[in-house]
Each structure stands twice: as structure tokens, then as C-alpha cells.
Structure 1
Amino acid sequence: MTLEITMKPLLLSTALASCLLAGCSMEPTYQRPAMPVPNNYPSSSATTPTAPDVSADMVDQDWRVFFKDPVLQQLIQIALDNNRDLRVAAANMAAARADYGAARVNLFPEIDLQGYAGRQRLPAMSQQPAAGLLGPIQNNRNTATTFNTYQVQAGMTSYELDFFGHQRAIAHESGKLAAASAADYQAARIALIGEVADAYLSLQADRTLLLLAEQTTTGQEQHAQVMQKAYRDGGASEFDMRRSQTQVDSGQVDVQSMEIRVAKDINAMAVLLGQPLPAGYDSPRPWQAPLLVDVPAGLPSSLLDRRPDVIAAEDRLRAANADIGRARAAFFPSIALTGVLGVLSGGLSNLFTAGSGAWTVGASGAMPLFDWGKNRNNLAASKARDTGAVAAYEGTVQEAFREVADALVTRDHIVPALKSQAELVDQSQHVYAISQERFKEGLDNYISTEDAQRSLYGAQQQLVSLELAQAVNQVNLYKALGGGWRQAPAANTAGLAKASSPRPLAATSR
């Protein structure tokens, strides 16, 4: 005969537990700290003091909109798909989300199904419960007894009623830490985009400097050959001849140094991409004005709210605030429910027959009396961590403000510097051309021509360096503004797990 098991006692206790989930909370009311920075960034005469229209100009900039160079776009996409550090950040984010899911389930009763089968012998004149939660008390007064026990039971054990918000505080803290991990991933993603852009710009600039060094050295070698012939013909001194050769040797050293820098740039780029550079990319291409979208002037400091590291710092502050609630709840009683329903029999064949059903429902409570200051110290530690989280949040905001302010100041002053340097290169080219003509006509010695060539070479190098600095500063401003300049209340975490499933791309050697 099949046993009809009624679940009413178990369902009743579970429903009661669920109704009591909306207890009180011991968490302090969260108050966001005021940003310890001015409302606007420092401005100069080159910066428009009026903020642009948010709806028109402060659109959320996808990195493909900001970085217009198609080659750079390809490299960034490869890095997003393959970079190992970004994969680590994605794994950490996934782990934090899983931890949050595990913390949330403690808010609900856990129903377990258990089975037991055993054989037991009790000596005479003894009293002992049989194995299993539902087992009866066995009384043996005259002779030893041997018996079997079989049971199947389902129910919840020690489910804590969250009257004082202990479990909710733990779940809240875990949720905020998961949100902070998602923001950390976003910050790592923006940082990687910026690093690839910086590496790309540095590689292009160093290739241009290498080309300048090779061209200059070629010109110096030609001059040295002229001076050697003039020396053999008695038209130049040994001093001038050897001086021209020193310039050749110096130029060759510059060429080798730039070769080293280019090779290191390629190696660094390969690490960022997570694979060798694509085929054909190792061929030099001329330096040009970087295809980057400029950031509008007059930005408010409130845009710092959208930076992932600022968002992560505030999420950790909220987690610390929730941890205070957990520590406070430890001072109050804890109440746990137990509800078990099952069948029990001394024989396996009778386990599911009529009359073998059994159930138990119970409640237990505990309240700390003497813990020797454990809860008090835990609460003090939670408050101290909250104080540290406030300081960390404010420090992150201040550092973010400094990064944006530095980038804006650099932008204001590097443009006139570039203009002056371009004029210097133009003038140096004319001086060098004139000095060559004067040397050919015998109006000047070779020293003047060498000086003019050296000045032109230095001016050209400085121009490339300033153009690189301007482009890198634009990238830094892009990163400092959190990957764009739209005002947004929170980071967009859609599709953040993309890096956990990288897309392999074909690549060749350098």
C-alpha cells in the first residue's frame, strides 16, 4: 500500500518563514559624501567657460566614435577579444556575481531530501535514540536488542528568520561588491583601450623618428664623403673631415636606438593584443595627425560620476555601510525554524506503507549574553572600514579630478606649443638649405652646415614628440572622463562578459 505523504506542516512553516522576510534593517541610512572637488575644472583663456549642451554635444561616445583611425580600431578590437588581463577582470566580475547569488539564497529556506538506512544494537538496561532525526527512543531494560532503521525525510533545518536584517545585510553587501567588480571590469576595459591607443601612437611616432634618423644619417654620410674627398684634395682640414665623420657615427647610434624602441613598441603591442600583430602591420607608415575626436570644452566636474573607478569606490562604500548592519544585527536574538516530513520504518519493505509517516516542526532561539566583546569589536571594525571606504571614495574622486584637470591644462597649452614648433621646423629647413648653398659656394665652412642640420633634426624630433604628446593627452582625457563625456547615473554593464569568450583572430609575425 502506497503512503500518501501530506506536506501541509512543511508548507505551513515555509510560508510563515517567507512572510517574516520583511523584518527590520540595522543598516545605517546611506548618505553619499559630497564630492571634495570644485564644480568646474580650472579654465584658461583657451578654454570656453560655458559648458556645452549635454543633449547635443555630450553624447555617450563609443570608442569607435572617438578613435577614427581604422587601423587603431582593428587593434583595439583584437585587444578586447584577447587581452589576458581583461579576461582576469571578467572572471573576477563573474565570480563576484556568483558570490552575490549564493548570498541571496540565504534569504530563503533550503529544502533538503535525506535518506538513512542502518542497523543498531543496544545493550540491556540502556536508553538511547535510534539513528535519524525522526527516530524514536529505544528502551531496553532486560536484554540486548538489535534492530534496523530506514527513513526518508524532506524539510528545512535551522532556517534563520531574518527579523533584524542580518542575512539581508550580507546579501546587500555582496550585491554592492558585485556591482563594484562590474565597474572594475569597465575600468579595465577603458584602460586597455587607452593603453592600445598609446602603444599605437608611440609605435607610429617612433617609426617616424627612426625614418628621420635614417634620412639625417644618409645626409651626414653624403657630407662626410664630400669632406673626405676635399681633405684628400687639400680643400678641407683634417679637423673638418673627422668632425663630419663623428656626425655619421652619432647618426648611426640614433638609428640603432630607434630600432630598439620600435622593436620594444611592437613587443608591448603584442602583449596588449594577446597575440602577434596582424599581417602587414609591421610595414612603416608615415606619421600623420591622429584621427581622434576632440573633447568639448567647459565640462562640469559632475561628469566624474560616470567614471567606473568612482562608481566602484561608491559601491564599496555602500557595501561597507551594509556591513555595519550585519554587525549590528549580531547583537540581537537569532530565531531558526526546523520543519521535517518523512517516513520511518524498521523494515525496508514497510517504509512506504500506511502508518509510517512522521513529521516534526520546531523553533529555536539564541541571544548573545557574554561574548567578551566580540560583537562590539566586530561593529567597531565595520565602522572603521566604512570610514576608510569614505576616504577611499573621496580620494578616488580627487584623483579623477586631477587627471581630467591635468589633461585639460595640457590641451590648452600644447596647441600653441605645436604651432611654434612647426614654425621652428620651417625656419630650420630654410636655414639648412641656405647653409648648404653657402657651403657649396665657399662662403661658409662645413661647421655651419652641420649646426644647421643638427638644429633641423632636433626641431623635427621635437615636433613629432609634441604631436605624440598631444595625441596621448587626448587619449588620457578620454580615459579620465570614463570613456566619454555623457552625464550618466551609473556604468553601463551590458555585455561585460564579452571578454570571457575571446574571438580568435588570425595573426602573423611582425
Structure 2
Amino acid sequence: MKPLIVAASLTTCLLAACTMEPTYQRPSMPVPNRYPEQARVTQASTTAAPAPAPAMPELEWRDFFKDPALQRLIEIALDNNRDLRIAAANMAEARAGYGVARANLFPEIDLQGYAGRQRLPGMTQQPSNGLLGPIQNNRTTAASFNTFQAQAGMTNYELDFFGHQRAIAHESGKLAEASAADYQAARIAVIGEVANAYLALNADRALLQLAQQTLAAQQQHAQVMQNAFRDGGVSEFDMRRSQTQVNAAQVDVEDVQTRIAKDINGITVLIGQPLPAGYGTPSQWQAPLLTDVPAGLPSSLLDRRPDVVAAEDRLRAANADIGRARAAFFPNIALTAALGALSGGLSNLFSAGSLAWNAGASATMPLLDWGKNKNELSASKARYTGATAAYEGTVQQAFREVADALAVRDHIVPELKAQQELVDQSQRVYGISQVRFKEGMDDYIATQDAQRSLYAAQQKLVGLQLDQAVNQVNLYKALGGGWNGGRGQTAGVARAPSQPPATASAR
């Protein structure tokens, strides 16, 4: 009965051996619970306890980017973008590395076979009277013989009593999860870059329409001034000045066309192929392209950002590395065993009496390493401290990006409203100036000034509309690319799963 108890105890020790990893404690998020703009609104509106944050609806990138043309570009980019392929390859490499580390938790069984022939000479030397007697020559007949061997066994399998291999596997697993989060961050970045490039292309196309309309108006005014100059109605100064406005408008048209060509080239690189047919035609700039992000966002949404998830995974990996460094202070116990058959003839290799086996154990313990293990542990703890700071810095940067986007969203709406009113008033002023010029009540300079003011106001309006749309994309990215109700699931892409550890203690 006692041997069974000893065997059961040994098995339990092997399966749930102690670990040297420190208990992981997640650092508190070094950011407020609310974003600055929301906190000011709450304080200004009421002094009562704030209402709980609203439940976030499920959202993924196809729900956020509503323009079918933009959706198609994003789909192409997710399939063909080269930076995203690099991120996918890095994720696959990290997963394979975790598989290698996890495989070291189990004994490696090898099958070996050997066949050989050996010849021993006739002259040998041996003691004449036992082991301590004098050596004398012994003449015998030279002999040749065969050796055949087949065996299966393991070599130097480490009994992981102190969690050395499990700490390595745990660290590798967390690094693989961090790589999966990096891949998701790369996806979100590609989605955002394609969206911003598409928005910039549409804005430049809107500016091109404005520039072409302005050029046509300037050419019409210049023709009127030339006719008036020919008839002696205006001076050469006014006629020449009208022509300069035509030249300036032509410069604007060419400049915007250059920007459009660059926008198309940029999108081509992002999607990894030429633009599909039909994307060269202007689209309606004012069409609703994006879904508005709801107000009252809690800062806890930062937990879903892939870069924050990756930073914490690397922090957990650094915590596991401390366990590896601590385990190096304790003995390394390894087993070697083999079972097979040995025979002088191939036909007798698996016959009765050919069974052969061997087993052994070895132990190695640091005795004098001149501070190597101590310094390894100090370095591991320093890496953990650095990983903690990196995690906290990532959270702070994420909080700032969301706060900045919310600040822009809160203030750009009244700015857009005021700019639209400016465009409307400038349009009326320009219309009145044209009437006054035709009736001879104003000179051409007043009409040109009104036209330039209108053109500048229209350009500014398009620029603000672009800023608003880009800010919505930036807010979408800052919040982790959407949400669908679970930590680590962003941008409509479930977090890449990793294999479970060999034992519960590996976690």
C-alpha cells in the first residue's frame, strides 16, 4: 500500500509541480474614469452622482463605414496589404514558437535503429591474476561479428519540479497572444488608413469641382473685361487683373489634380493593387460615410484596444520570465531511458532473450556561477519593471488619443455650422456684387473680392468636413476599432486563439 501512496504522490508532484512565477497583479490604469470633455459636461450640468455608462452596441468595421465603395476598398486591403501580411507572418511565427516551447513540457520519444559489423584483433592485453595483477599478452584468434539494435527512448527529459520549462512555455504563450493583438492593431491601422485616404480623395475631388467652377467663372469674367476694354469701358489694369485671376484658378485646378493623383497612388499601395473600375469618378462628398460614435464612452473601453492588450500580454510574459530566472537557482533533474532489442543476427533481433533496456537520472545544480543566475534574475525583474511602464504608457497614450478625438468632435460641429453660414453669406454677397457690377454701381475689383472670399470659404468648409470625418475615423481607431462585447475582440475580428497550457499551474 505504501508504494502506491509514494507513486501517487510522485505523480501528483510531477503533474502539478511548484512554480517560481510571481503572482501576477494587473497594474491599475493610470488614467481617469472619464474623458476630460465628458467630465466637464457632467460637472457643469449636475452635482449628483453620474449615471452609469450606456451599454455599448455591437459594432464592427462594416457597421461603422457605411459607404459600399469604401467597404470594398477595405476588403481588398485586408486581403492584399503587404504590411498586414508581415504582421500575419509574425503572428504565425510567434504561435509556432509557443508550440515549440510547449512541446518541451513533454518527453521526446525517439526511435533508433543500428546495424554494424566489427572486427577485434587476435592480440589483446589483460591482467594475469585478476584486476590487480600484471598485464600480459593474450593471443587469441581474431574475430568479426555483427550487431543489430532497435530501441525507443528519451534523452535528458527534464523533470520540471521548479517550473523552469513551464515558465518558458507561459512566457512564449503570452508573447504569441501579444503578437495576435499586434496583428489586430495592424488590421485596424490598415482600415483607418484606407478610410482616411478615401476621405481625402473625395475631399480633393470636391475641391477640384470648386476649382473648376471658379476657373469657369473667372474665364467668363475675363472675357467680359476684355470686351469692355476693347470698347473702352474699363482700363487695361482691370482687364489684366481679371486675367491674373484666371491664371490663379488654373494653378489651383492643376494643384488639386496633382493631389488627387497622389491620393489614388496612396490607396493603390494600401490595397495592394490598382483601384477597381469606377473609382475614378467623383462621389457625393456630403453622403453619410461613417456611423457616429455614441457619447458617454467609459475609459474602460481602452481595455479592448489591441495595443493595450498586447502591452499587458508582454507584461505577463515578463512576469513569467521571472519564474524562469528563479528556477535556474534550483537543481535540474533529467531522465534518460531506452527500451529495445539487441542481437548479433538480424533474424534474432526480436526473438526471446534479445530484450535490452537502460535507464538513468542526472541532476545538475549551480555551485559557483560567479553571479550569473543572480544577474539573470535582476535583469528579468528590470524587464518586468520596463514592461509595466510600457503598459502604463500605452494606456495613457490611448486615453489621450480618445480624449483628443472627443475634444475635436465636441468643437468642430459649431465650427462647421459657422463656416456653413459664412459660405451662405459669401454666396449672397457674391450674387449681389455681380448684379451691382452689371448695373455699373460697383467696379470689377469688388466683384473679384467677393468671388475670392466665397471660394476661400467653400474650400475651408470642405476642409472642415474632411477634418470631422477623419476625426471620426481616428476616434474609431482610438477606441480599438469597434467593439462586439468582449475583451480582445476588436475591428470585427475575434482575437486569435492560443493553445492552452499543459497544466493549470502554467497559467
TM > 0.5 fold call: yes
Shift, 1:19, TM fit:
6.0
Q: Say whether 1:125 aligns with 2:119.
A: no
Contact 1:114 1:153 in 2 (8 A): yes
Shift, 1:232, TM fit:
1.6
Contact 1:209 1:258 in 2 (8 A): yes
- Alignment CA distance shift 1:402-1:162 (3 Å): same
**Amino acid corresponding to residue 451 of structure 1 in structure 2:** D
1:102-501 matches, within 5 Å, as 102-123=100-121, 124-125=123-124, 142-143=139-140, 145-485=143-483, 488-491=486-489
Q: TM-score, normalised by structure 2?
A: 0.88
Structure 2: which 5+ residue stretches go unaligned?
Answer: 1-6, 44-49, 127-136, 497-507
Structure 2: distance between partners of 1:387 and 1:495: 30
Contact 2:54 2:296 in 1 (8 A): no
1:425-445 deviation per Cα after TM superposition (whole angstroms, max 9, x unaligned) = 000000101111111111111
Contact 1:26 1:164 in 2 (8 A): yes
**Amino acid corresponding to residue 458 of structure 1 in structure 2:** A
Partner of 1:25: 19
Partner of 1:134: none
Q: TM-score, normalised by structure 1?
A: 0.88
Shift, 1:93, TM fit:
1.2
Report the 3-state secondary structure (helix = DSSP H, G, I; strand = E; otherwise coil) of the residue aligned with 1:362. strand
Shift, 1:48, TM fit:
6.3
- Alignment CA distance shift 1:44-1:349 (3 Å): closer
Contact 1:52 1:299 in 2 (8 A): no
- Alignment CA distance shift 1:245-1:46 (3 Å): farther
Contact 2:60 2:484 in 1 (8 A): no
- Alignment CA distance shift 1:44-1:357 (3 Å): closer
Shift, 1:98, TM fit:
1.5
**Amino acid corresponding to residue 393 of structure 1 in structure 2:** Y
- Alignment CA distance shift 1:439-1:494 (3 Å): closer
Shift, 1:491, TM fit:
3.2
Structure 1: which 5+ residue stretches go unaligned?
Answer: 1-12, 128-139, 498-510
Structure 1: distance between partners of 2:138 and 2:175: 60
Partner of 1:68: 66
Report the 3-state secondary structure (helix = DSSP H, G, I; strand = E; otherwise coil) of the residue aligned with 1:25. coil
Report the 3-state secondary structure (helix = DSSP H, G, I; strand = E; otherwise coil) of the residue aligned with 1:160. strand
Shift, 1:16, TM fit:
6.8
Contact 1:115 1:152 in 2 (8 A): yes
Contact 1:305 1:488 in 2 (8 A): no
Structure 2: distance between partners of 1:306 and 1:68: 22
Shift, 1:269, TM fit:
0.8
**Amino acid corresponding to residue 191 of structure 1 in structure 2:** A
Structure 1: distance between partners of 2:38 and 2:461: 24
Contact 2:489 2:495 in 1 (8 A): no
Report the 3-state secondary structure (helix = DSSP H, G, I; strand = E; otherwise coil) of the residue aligned with 1:217. helix
Structure 1: distance between partners of 2:243 and 2:125: 110
Partner of 1:35: 29
Structure 1: distance between partners of 2:495 and 2:89: 10
Contact 1:47 1:297 in 2 (8 A): no
Contact 1:44 1:412 in 2 (8 A): no
1:33-76 deviation per Cα after TM superposition (whole angstroms, max 9, x unaligned) = 11111111012699567566543xx1231111111112111211
Structure 2: distance between partners of 1:141 and 1:70: 96
**Amino acid corresponding to residue 124 of structure 2 in structure 1:** M
Contact 1:48 1:298 in 2 (8 A): no
Structure 2: distance between partners of 1:46 and 1:175: 42
Report the 3-state secondary structure (helix = DSSP H, G, I; strand = E; otherwise coil) of the residue aligned with 1:114. strand
Shift, 1:255, TM fit:
0.5
1:288-320 deviation per Cα after TM superposition (whole angstroms, max 9, x unaligned) = 143311111121111111111000000000001
Shift, 1:17, TM fit:
7.1
Structure 2: distance between partners of 1:420 and 1:321: 54
Q: Aligned residue pairs: how many? A: 471
Report the 3-state secondary structure (helix = DSSP H, G, I; strand = E; otherwise coil) of the residue aligned with 2:157. strand
Aligned CA RMSD, in angstroms, stands at 2.3
Structure 2: distance between partners of 1:495 and 1:398: 25
